[in-house]
């Protein structure tokens, strides 16, 4: 899997920066966001470094598909029994601040827009 030595999330994956992990396997890591926007705010990151959905190759698209199949159980186990929101910011105008593909999982309360 591709890594970027300057990437914050690659450093978290490598254990160089601590995180509060809630799930990890060979393909993805899920941890608590340090600036939560909801009662439950998790970040699911691919262990393969790529920045945007538009940069995905076929293998990375399969990785995102895999992540999406794991998220429902992870969300439920972390307090999102009544529903959750998945957000994927793409680019600076969308609010992406770490340019390593990641999915925000928000829930644990009634969410507004």
Question: What are the residue numbers of the active site?
Answer: 102
Q: What does the alpha-carbon distance between residue 99 and residue 102 come to, in Å, rounded to a whole number?
A: 9
| Spatial CB neighbours of 67, under 8 Å, sequence gap ≥ 6 | 27, 28, 44, 46, 103
Closest CA to 67 of 32, 28, 40, 104: 28
Does residue 65 contact residue 53 with C-beta atoms inside 8 Å? no
Closest CA to 45 of 83, 82, 14: 14
């Amino acid at each position: 899997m591709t890594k970027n030595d300057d990437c914050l999330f690659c450093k978290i994956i490598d254990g160089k920066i601590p995180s509060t992990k809630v799930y990890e396997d060979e393909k993805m890591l899920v941890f608590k966001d340090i600036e939560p926007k909801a009662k439950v705010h998790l970040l699911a990151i691919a262990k393969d470094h790529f920045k945007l959905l538009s940069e995905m190759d076929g293998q990375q698209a399969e990785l995102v598909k895999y992540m999406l199949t794991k998220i429902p159980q992870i969300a439920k186990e972390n307090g999102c029994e009544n529903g959750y929101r998945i957000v994927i910011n793409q680019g600076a105008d969308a609010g992406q601040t770490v340019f390593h593909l990641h999915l925000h999982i928000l829930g644990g309360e009634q969410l507004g827009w």
